[in-house]
Structure 1
């Protein structure tokens, strides 16, 4: 039997894991029973024990300083004062810099690399998959935002490695969503994926023809998502706190967390209703023994919420206009619009999409699950090497070389098809130069200071006396999953040097090894604890199966038919296999029987 492969949507707000069984993609439920895992991680205040998902959300109610969320916004980023200021506007926890310039977060009095936080979430999804299959799982496809750069993609891979996963491919989230949509419904034509998640916004135009998925254009805003819409409500609520308490509430972590939770709840309710009531107490300074606390009661209407979020709506439209222009298409020529991300449930967003594209978006695909399902489909294809779908993706950001005058010469323009190789010849900045530093930039501006520096290639021992005697060839190679390799060659001497992305933040080798060992030890402890719970749950499932078998037997006796007999025999056979697997402690067989019995008992086939 082939080892299971899984698809993972590592999201800003929620994450999901899926697999393909009997040719059909399906979400793997968490061990807690949910279909989504909140991308929230915490450390308990006394023992610093790890909690992930809903347990971390519960911890945040009493100890918000022990919990972090939305860390996907910072993965692969370089720690800078500017990033710290940006973070203060969206999250209450503090950022810190690692020795290599990577971003870390402070929780429960500890400083934890963002890469490790992502690894904790991935590790939890891995445990969910292993509980589902009853065996080890290592190979996966992970999705990333289309506008993730090389550093962010490499950091995602690093997180997967720490979690004990082998990421056989990274694919862009919009492409994964379109893959799930197209393969399950046989769609042909131009599809636009409108992906507004918790922390990022992507818009991608694809042409889907006979299983070929060709990305025509992609664009987005890496700092726009549901968290920003929540923040608009938080700011509005804070403004309504009385003057004597407002500054205390603003500085208090517990109070601000209460406002954040209330804002999220209000946004969800306004998706269904025209108005929602917000009632909060216990707002104030929780750090002092003699607490001065206040409360807040107000109502928020859907129309006023939409007014608050108008600047964010305009940013969404701006991205749509830019992508359609780059695709050379009229918005009304798109055949279907696919919504991805929980924020797309908001009526404001659906109306915005309908007005801009001249048609109502498709609501057939669950926006929270489409990306994970698409990742699972691609993982299954890679494992089977079936080639059912050919993905032709594009570059999300232009890549180039820094030249004299503080300018950038772009070698790979944005929306070029990948994989792609591009090269050009440059010369040293002055005569007699023995060393050349060739900076690599990402971005659309022609000016270096308006782009993001990814790193540099250093060529030493140059021999030419004059600039013209020292031609330097720079080659960019971008893989089909968006990772960049760069090589510079002195064409006169033949000296060549591959890129060392010194600007790419990463974990020091020894620390990465330690985190891998920590994760493996945690996974082993957790698996042992889960095994006991799984056995108890399986025994209860068999009891429910026995009741179903008796009902089917009674039905077959009262209304004899071949179908009734077959249904009863099928359940009896499953139960016999289950009891045998339980006695033989065959976890994989138990898991297989559990999946089949659960489907029979629930009447679901997903």
Structure 2
């Protein structure tokens, strides 16, 4: 496989095994199960991916569904792709050939993303950005004319009066530029995981007209995507949250902001209703940037008597700095912009050095903030509710990190629980969930595959899949389960059907008992448990002692009822698992938590008679805290994992203090 930068490197099988081994050991330790067998996944499912895309003014994102869990896919640098597009000649030398796209109409290459953004500082007139603001708009639209005064690339009138752009003398429609961005997002997914087909749901602002939505869909299809639906950003953001009831959704990106109040009575998105909606399609983070930019330009005139408004290079650089200052002021009380040799004047070079504090910035944008606050207050009246009726708040868009915006939200809607999802990624995660729900609803249940996963209960009630959904029948899988206690004691294995991460939300099928007849002195043994499902959905569970050469003993035969394999039940199980994706115990910190949990348990049990009672009690308390923190935020879980690792080290390294030996002279 060609690596980034155009290089090619051969990797041996042995190297791959060495890379993979630590992860296998970690998973085996975390779950105490080793799964192997001969199950065949349906070839149709492995070639199609359900994907969500957030097409933004400044940045675009893509998320893919894996095992009913949404994952935001990282681009070449960050977990987003800058929505910047430029042209590059075919023979232009570049080490980033892997991120280029052909545009056959003009026989040139389109550079999209970070490369185009870097080029903007050198040749601002050759880079198109904010194309989302142009799509579906006419050239004489007042907002388009206002935009022309601020940007440095050429916006022209199209064949039918639409707003088009021109690069290097070549005219492009916004749909063509947008398709280049979608093609880059498609490549991002394919570099992460190959699929023959991407089924995509794209999110757009709620103010978009039907024509704008059709143009977005056309751009996606032109890029080789199968665009299933174009949905509103607030709808996607709600799906990324696990909050039910009355939910306030506040979103603010680069180009617009919206406020909506949703009523979501259950996990069925068809029952979700929008009680009220408001916002402004022309006010977003860019307007805050422009106010800050104008402030800096005025300061330069005041300090150096130089007006840089006619210098597109200086204005482009200062605009980038203004955006970064706005971001930094969300976490810092004041920020200094320092650019040596920024421009020139009659007296010589101008070295820019301007400091602005957060209160100064908030004073500059108080009119915009006041408008937003008024809209928030009005929407409560429109929905005929009070802040006490609200069950939760969902935020999306980078501007929601601004302290003043958060202050308004708390002041108007109350200090309710805010969704823990990253605001920049809430929309793309919700879009991916919506895509998976859409595909599942329109997918027929095939008789030759199992529609829901069969698994067993692991530590702390987590669900470990043995036979995954969409496995072709008949199927057979084997699990190795250790039994730590001897002398005839039993290990209980509970079997479930479903897709949720926690067994309590899945359907129990039954339970088998593994009896260890060895003496405790001889230690643990491993049971080899085999699960077989035939085409009639009859599950047979067999087991044998790995250390004994004997045939497997049939422990239990279970028939999976047709009522739970119907379309309605399968859709509900998948929907519940998708909409409760945040409880999936498969992200890195939770995997480490499972590992630390089992390690500390083993260490404290084996050294119980060797360590002091107070140290043992501390270990038990740390175990309890870590077990309770499995469903909490990563920040909390991280602290508990580190505490458990410290306790493991303390228990392993503890040694009794030896009494001091008396000096030989004293003994005499």
Normalised TM-score (structure 2): 0.55
- Please state if 1:196 is matched with 2:256: no
Take 2:149 and 2:359, find their aligned partners in 1: how far apart are those partners?
A: 24
Take 1:58 and 1:207, find their aligned partners in 2: how far apart are those partners?
A: 43
Take 1:285 and 1:68, find their aligned partners in 2: how far apart are those partners?
A: 27
Q: Cα distance, 1:106 vs. partner?
A: 3.2
Which position in structure 2 is the counterpart of 1:342? Answer: 398
Q: Cα distance, 1:307 vs. partner?
A: 0.7
Take 1:7 and 1:203, find their aligned partners in 2: how far apart are those partners?
A: 22
Which position in structure 2 is the counterpart of 1:365? Answer: 421
Cα RMSD for the two superposed structures: 3.2
Point out the structure with max Rg over C-alpha. Answer: 2
Contact 1:194 1:204 in 2 (8 A): yes
Take 1:112 and 1:179, find their aligned partners in 2: how far apart are those partners?
A: 35
Residues 294 and 28 of structure 1: CA distance in aligned 2, closer, same or farther (over 3 Å): same
Take 2:264 and 2:226, find their aligned partners in 1: how far apart are those partners?
A: 29
Matches within 5 A, 1:424-435: none
SS of 2:330's partner is helix
53, 58, 61: which one aligns with 1:16: 61
Contact 1:249 1:285 in 2 (8 A): no
Contact 1:255 1:282 in 2 (8 A): no
Q: Cα distance, 1:140 vs. partner?
A: 0.6
Take 2:441 and 2:297, find their aligned partners in 1: how far apart are those partners?
A: 54
Take 1:168 and 1:87, find their aligned partners in 2: how far apart are those partners?
A: 31
**1:500-538 per-position Cα deviation (integer Å, ceiling 9, x unaligned):** xxxxxxxxxxxxxxxxxxxxxxxxxxxxxxxxxxxxxxx
SS of 2:418's partner is coil
Which position in structure 2 is the counterpart of 1:61? Answer: 121
Residues 382 and 363 of structure 1: CA distance in aligned 2, closer, same or farther (over 3 Å): closer
**1:305-364 per-position Cα deviation (integer Å, ceiling 9, x unaligned):** 111111111221232233323222224432211110001111111111111112156151
Which position in structure 1 is the counterpart of 2:72? Answer: 27
Take 2:179 and 2:593, find their aligned partners in 1: how far apart are those partners?
A: 32
Contact 1:252 1:285 in 2 (8 A): no
SS of 2:395's partner is strand
Which position in structure 1 is the counterpart of 2:172? Answer: 112
Q: Cα distance, 1:156 vs. partner?
A: 0.9
Which position in structure 1 is the counterpart of 2:130? Answer: 70
**Paired residues, number:** 395
Take 2:181 and 2:292, find their aligned partners in 1: how far apart are those partners?
A: 27
Which position in structure 2 is the counterpart of 1:355? Answer: 411
Q: Which moved more, 1:6-15 or 1:210-219?
A: 210-219
Residues 562 and 380 of structure 1: CA distance in aligned 2, closer, same or farther (over 3 Å): farther
SS of 1:251's partner is coil
Take 2:289 and 2:275, find their aligned partners in 1: how far apart are those partners?
A: 32
SS of 2:241's partner is helix
SS of 1:242's partner is helix
Take 2:372 and 2:265, find their aligned partners in 1: how far apart are those partners?
A: 28
Take 2:417 and 2:59, find their aligned partners in 1: how far apart are those partners?
A: 22
Which position in structure 2 is the counterpart of 1:464? Answer: none
Q: Cα distance, 1:285 vs. partner?
A: 7.9
Residues 603 and 110 of structure 1: CA distance in aligned 2, closer, same or farther (over 3 Å): farther
Matches within 5 A, 1:310-349: 310-349=366-405
Residues 71 and 195 of structure 1: CA distance in aligned 2, closer, same or farther (over 3 Å): same
79, 82, 86: which one aligns with 1:42: 86
SS of 1:217's partner is strand
Q: Which moved more, 1:44-53 or 1:375-384?
A: 44-53
**1:483-516 per-position Cα deviation (integer Å, ceiling 9, x unaligned):** xxxxxxxxxxxxxxxxxxxxxxxxxxxxxxxxxx
Contact 1:248 1:285 in 2 (8 A): no
Q: Cα distance, 1:82 vs. partner?
A: 2.6
Contact 1:59 1:67 in 2 (8 A): yes
- Please state if 1:219 is matched with 2:219: no
- Please state if 1:307 is matched with 2:363: yes
Take 1:254 and 1:562, find their aligned partners in 2: how far apart are those partners?
A: 72
Contact 2:85 2:177 in 1 (8 A): yes
Take 1:323 and 1:364, find their aligned partners in 2: how far apart are those partners?
A: 23
Which position in structure 1 is the counterpart of 2:14? Answer: none
Matches within 5 A, 1:115-154: 115-154=175-214
